[in-house]
Amino acid sequence: PNAISVRGLSKHFDDVRAVDDLDLDIADGEFFSMLGPSGSGKTTVLRLIAGFEKPTSGRIQLGQEDVTDRAPYARDVNTVFQDYAIFPHMSVRQNVEYGLRVKKVPRGERRERAEQALATVRLDGYGERKPHQLSGGQRQRVALARALVNRPKVLLLDEPLGALDLKLRREMQIELKEIQREVGITFVFVTHDQEEALTMSDRIAVFNEGRIEQLASPVELYEKPASTFVAGFVGTSNLIEGEVARAILGEAGRFVIRPEKVQLVGPSEAPSADARVCVAPGVVREVVYLGSTTHSVVELDAGTTVTVAHHNFDRSIDAALERRDQRVVVTWRRDH
Ligand code: ADP
Ligand code: MG
């Protein structure tokens, strides 16, 4: 069953097509991400689902119910924003209980559910603190607890980790994924960070100019990008333009090869003609040390530049550096 179904959804702001004729199905219990550059329409899609925006056209269904014409409070969704709006003068517990108070849930049940939500986000024992006594990561967890306490069917998260520093963000990514598995709620997670989307998601929709360029699992998105836009936005790519000499795919075009799928060898080590391996000679122009990996940038004789990634096992960086300005051959498997 689907938690969310969207059909022909558009939102225009004057002549800007923020969302352009979108069809989308998100499954129950799925961790679904919307990934795309700034301005690609991600937030607008979330706001349409939450009911904060009225669509120009199209329908939105939550579970079995068409909610297109319903007010936000009459939709079984909650939203967590980047600038988590928690009340500074209230304790953590009061913040988490707030939504339940508004709904007139009795005090005892309120307490219990707030405790549960705080435990879920690993904040047991923090109920009496004030927001200013918490770290940024903890405040973000309060915002999450506040959304979870309502037990919505769907949680919408708009760049919720964007304000955190990189290390904390990485930790929260793993934790958020664990929490989602525990509670089993459908998460719709918006981010412009491709690594974040790959880490957390069951499926990812890549947005570009109000449309979905590709919707796939993280592995499929990375291994089989459907367009040059996706290839360029998700991971690092070598984009190689050329002519198709013999039609294999039936189409002329460009191809993409990931840096870690390319190997670099000396001119004499090049494999002899093997139909499964592509071979191209060139010169190493640049060697960039990146800690866990090293990138060698090779200018092919054919004119294109190709980046080759090596893992820094032992001291392979020394071998890479020795190849700077040397003639080399790059190879990759045809199926890659
Ligand atoms: P994202 O979240 O992917 O960065 P948005 O959904 O915020 O993208 O914006 C998509 C497009 O719609 C952008 O061009 C943005 O400027 C425009 N837009 C969003 N909200 C409004 C608004 N309230 N009024 C006018 N234009 C808007
Ligand atoms: Mg946005």
Q: Give the chain's domains with CATH numbers.
A: 2-233 (3.40.50.300), 257-333 (2.40.50.100)
For residue 335, give every residue at least 6 positions away whose Cβ sits within 8 Å of its Cβ, in sequence order, or none. Answer: 276
Section 269-273 average pLDDT: 72
**In this structure, which residue's CA is closest to atom 22 in ligand 1?**
13
Whether pLDDT at 245 is above 70:
no
Q: Is 262 in the pocket of ligand 1 (CB under 6 A)?
A: no
pLDDT score recorded for residue 252: 63
Whether pLDDT at 271 is above 90:
no
Whether pLDDT at 319 is above 60:
yes
Q: Of 43, 47, 233, which is best to mutate to test ligand 1, by the most ligand atoms within 8 angstroms of its C-beta?
A: 43
Whether pLDDT at 273 is above 70:
no
Residue bearing the bigger pLDDT, 305 or 317: 305
Q: Is 87 in the pocket of ligand 1 (CB under 6 A)?
A: no
**In this structure, which residue's CA is closest to atom 13 in ligand 1?**
39
pLDDT score recorded for residue 202: 97
288-306 pLDDT, tens digit per residue, is 999 999 999 999 998 889 9
**Alpha-carbon separation of residue 7 from 17, 24, 153 (angstroms):** 16, 7, 20
pLDDT score recorded for residue 105: 94
Amino acid at site 108: G
**In this structure, which residue's CA is closest to atom 26 in ligand 1?**
13
Q: How confident is the model at residue 267 (pLDDT cuts 50, 70, 90)?
A: confident
Q: Of 13, 20, 81, which is best to mutate to test ligand 1, by the most ligand atoms within 8 angstroms of its C-beta?
A: 13
Q: How far is the CA of 174 from the centre of ligand 2 (A)?
A: 22
Q: Is 13 in the pocket of ligand 1 (CB under 6 A)?
A: yes
Nearest atom (ligand 1) to Cα of 14: 25
Sheet hosting strand 31-35, strand order edge to edge: 77-80, 154-158, 186-191, 31-35, 203-208, 211-216
ipTM of the complex: 0.99
Residue 141: other Cβ atoms inside 10 A: 26
Max Cα distance, the chain (Å): 79
**101 three-state secondary structure:** helix
State the ligand closest to the CA atom of 39: 1
Q: Is 191 in the pocket of ligand 1 (CB under 6 A)?
A: no
For every residue of 263-286, DSSP letters joined together read: EEE-GGGPPP--TTEEEEEEEEEE
Tokens read off for 183 = 């509670």
Residue bearing the bigger pLDDT, 321 or 83: 321
86-143 pLDDT, tens digit per residue, is 899 999 999 999 989 998 999 999 999 999 999 988 899 999 999 999 988 888 889 9
What is the Cα 129 distance to its own chain's centre?
Answer: 32
Nearest atom (ligand 1) to Cα of 38: 4
Q: How confident is the model at residue 146 (pLDDT cuts 50, 70, 90)?
A: very high
Q: Is 259 in the pocket of ligand 1 (CB under 6 A)?
A: no
Residue 124: other Cβ atoms inside 10 A: 11
Angle at 154 between CA 150 and CA 157, to 5 degrees: 95
β-bridge partners, 303? none
31-56 pLDDT, tens digit per residue, is 999 999 999 999 999 999 999 999 99
Section 237-255 average pLDDT: 69
Q: How far is the CA of 40 from the centre of ligand 1 (A)?
A: 8
